[in-house]
Structure 1
Amino acid sequence: MTAHDGEAEDERELESLLTFIDDSRGFDFTGYKRTSLGRRIRKRMQTVGFEKYPDYRDFLESNADEFQELFNTILINVTSFFRDPAAWHYLQTVVVPELIAKAGPGGDIRIWSAGCSSGEEAYTLAILFAEQLGVEASTKQVKIYGTDVDEEALREARAGVYSLKSLEKLPDELKTKYFEPNGALFAFRRDLRRRVIFGRHDITRDAPISRVDLLVCRNTLMYFNVEAQAKIIERFHFALNDGGHLFLGKAEMLLADGSRFEVTDMRNRVFKVQASAAARSARFDLRAAAGMEKINRRQVVELALAASPDAVMGIERDGTVAVVNGAARLQFGLSANIAGTPFRDLEISYQPIELRSLIDRAHNERRSVRVNAVRREKGDGEVQYFDIIVKPLLTSDGEDLGVAVTFIDTTEATRLQQEVKRVQEDLATAYAELQSTNAELETVNEELQSSIEELETTNEELQSTNEELETTNEELQSGNEELETMNEEMRIRTAELDEARTFLEGVLSSVAAGVVVLDSDLLVRSWNRGAEDLWGMRADEVYGADFFTLDFGLPTEGLRDMVEICNETGHRALPVETDAVDRKGRPFVASVSCSPLSGPGSGVVLLMEKRRE
């Protein structure tokens, strides 16, 4: 298998896993960029010890709790209060006053924070408007909707409780004014918190919140591919009122929506809905579309066909005529009751051009087929010209229902073109030099157009690269936060160990008798002060040494059997008395007892005391 084949197989396995996740948990990740999505999934797979997507899918099927861990890895919840302060300052000083003035005294202001994560962004918006309107007026006029697909993050957002570290970027006066101490944490003030409503919402699939004055969606679009971004922006455009503002992240921008959005401030990624009639007509009403009856849709289709100036025929997949508009009936003398007739039986199927082959081609290639300047001679000797478009009618699931055949009358245009051609031929000699110059200008124009297209492509590539960099930055930030948390836990555990070690050393030092701790290999691990005073050897001199090789006033070889049996069996040995000599050379009888450290083979503790001199 070549490297290319391996990559293709890997992509198919990833798509299969994404389909499984959507079917099992209702999370649709198919619109996410495959580069960052695959990287995040593989990070989780490495954590649980899997290399292949099918193996990880089997693991998900048998471990339901793993879904939450996977979602936490994919959905990078990096957020904070007043993230990117310059952009929020622009929103506070320019956009918010404009929205308040537009709403008027007592007027409602609706705000949507899409991809709100754990709620910091939504509560930041509440603070902005409370600072402008006052807290009391803000609780009456402003309603904020915070949405996300991550249920765990939404639970944190609804609680509205944050650590001191999360509030470190807030000025002290805002922290005091809008947060109440709650143990070691801080809770957002209740009166404003009741005006922030959190709920689960998938911006790629669910109907948008309507009549919104300000829509904030920062550093979320960059995770989606171009097609998904276009659908999301279309939903956002529907959600916003005329003149409403869209606030995006610093790595996001609207490259191809000049007809619907105008740039308010590109540096801070603030855009405004165009209020023109053309822009309003581009909106779609999801709620109306969802509730529309089939008969109404049929009437709209028929009226639209009837109103079309071009001749249009709808032909089902089996070749039966489904619908013919008035222009087609008038142009080709077709009956009003033609629906249900086999298309092959009609003269129009082969005159003025063989349409059946074009229809078969459109079905086979699943794309529109166009033939220009088709000549048709009418019975009175008049000549007509048509551009004919055969377009397959494909459902969202890819099912081929039939074709629409459109006849665009280009008679006048074609005649004009022919007349112009004759004039051009007559004047060819006289305008040869002009044509040469025109050709040169066309070449320059093409070069300029090519340069513009290259620049646009480069701009889009830079934008994509910028989004990838921002995604990587957020992943690194998330990893840094995890490392900081682990470091804090290690510091706490180290402190606890130091405290335990100090306590143990104090206990051992306070014991007057000699206490020696040997490990499983009977090497000295602890030598207390009593042992130093008794034998005259410091702890640093004997640490790590074989106890039975030490030369001091105790005959250790006579204790070897007792010590080894105690270490092997894990049972306490009876005290043994033996002659010994202390550090000053005075003989005495030493009592030595041996106890296991914890269990068999884990080491022993020796207690050495003077009995009599």
Structure 2
Amino acid sequence: MTSAEINPEFENLLIYLRQNRGFDFTGYKRSTLMRRVQKRMQSFNIEKFEEYLDFLEVHPEEFNYLFNTILINVTAFFRDSSAWEYIAEQILPNLIRNKKTSDQIRIWSAGCASGEEAYTLAMLMAEMLGADEFRQRVKIYATDVDEDALNQARLAVYSAKDIQTVPDELRQKYFEVAGKCYVFRPDLRRSVIFGRHDLLQDAPISRLDLLVSRNTLMYFNSETQGRILARFHFGLNDNGYLFLGKAEMLLMHSNLFTPLDLKNRIFTKISSVNIRDRLLIMANSVDEESSSRLSRHLRLRDMGFDTAPIAQLVIDINGTLIMMNEQARSLFALSTKDLARPFQDLELSYRPVELRSLIEQAYTERRPITLTNVERHLSNTETQYLDVQITPLQETDTSFLGVSIAFGDVTRYIKLQEALQRSQQELETTNEELQSTNEELETTNEELQSTNEELETTNEELQSTNEELETMNEELQSTNEELQTINYELSDRTTELNRTNIFLISILRSLQTGIVVIDSSFKILIWNYMVEDLWGLRTDEVLGQSIFSLDIGLPVEQLRSPIRESLSGKKLFQEMILNATNRRGRQIKCYLAITPLLGIEMQGAVLMMADVERVNSMISTQDMESRRHQD
């Protein structure tokens, strides 16, 4: 990554994620990683990485959503079917032929996401071996850094859409129907082991016959890919296979793997020449005198190595133990029978410290790795402390021959240091105790004097407290009486208000004219039944709405100016006749009168409206009734 590509704010965000959540994304390709993070930031309209870091500090639940966005879990059963056909027809049969019938078959699905590819491997192996032999011999390790995806994979429950790519014969044989979902067979599911594993930080799974990591490497930069591939190389057996995704070529790492079928991304491991082979070639290429001299030099070197005062081991590039001195044999209970054994088979490879991953780190970083004060618990319940140094053995052509591991026993120095620290702490503790004792004696005398004074004042305080309590009781009694009086007044006011509301409603119902009351924001406060009959809108539909937002047959926009004049007090009474359409769709002449609300604190206006023809008809009817009574 060039300096031009470095974004300090983004790098600070990655450091924060590593320190607070243990996810190390620093090895991912920056362009892809920034694009995924920015996609999540867009959900909150955040533009700067610094602001998003602040958002994460305030909202810790956002971490899960961010990781789900970054960790692209794209997978499927039998994805890239042609590659899986090659695996089923060529790789797996050859893998089984190279094994004894009692040997275990170990497969690793790295970056397994929700488990589809791991179960694909399980189905293919079960088809070749049969269910019983599959359960006895096959272990499929499926790992990922996404806990949510792993939880889904452990359930082994998939939808009908998820298993569309599974052939019908395999679907019926290896899946059980549970409602609308399909569940992978539980008896075979036990051979698929899911676990969280970080390809950059955790030790690789070893003794593998097949390693499947499809479209996982492409998210990492070239340097990180090299570190991961070195771990893959360590984990695979010499005749093991590496199965990658169609976007991964390994053109830059041809010293570790060679393509077996580049089209389908199948690779085999390149086994390096160990140091014993090199010495044998050297010995066969010289004459007898030189061979004798070389033999003496080798014996001298072996004696010097064997009598070294610290324990030492030499492990070749293939992970085989080829040398150990007397101190190492004595310290770790090793014998000459352990020579030529795979180092990973020895207890020393993982106890008292995991050495296999440290060896890979020394190869990858091309430098010695040193550990200090490593604790080793002995059988007699004693603890031994060791300084461990792992040094890569490199030839002039930059290739590695193996590593040397040295163990220095520093138990005596650690115990001496601990004893000195304990003595110093005891002295400090004693001084502190003496000082605190003197201070306690001084304070005790002061406390005794003050106690007498406090006892005298306590009596006075108790007496005043009783007086205060009596006063508070009287105040509470008075307050209760006041609250009762207020409750009676509120009850009377509520009764009066209810009576007034009933009276007002009766008046509005008795009027034969439409009445609309609005506030200063033109929102409707009262809408009587005559207005409902005129325009066809119920009271509950219009209350709180602006009169100018109503879709009725009255041209309300023509009322805007008159209403404003009424609200401002410029005109106390306005009347007009407007052409309108009533709720029945009939054209009418609408009489309209506008007056402001008077005599109250709230500002508003009263609109009276009526159908002119209906009013005239009512007047004519009343006149006729009046004449009839006179006659």
TM-score for both structures, normalised by structure 2: 0.48
TM-score for both structures, normalised by structure 1: 0.49
Larger radius of gyration: 2
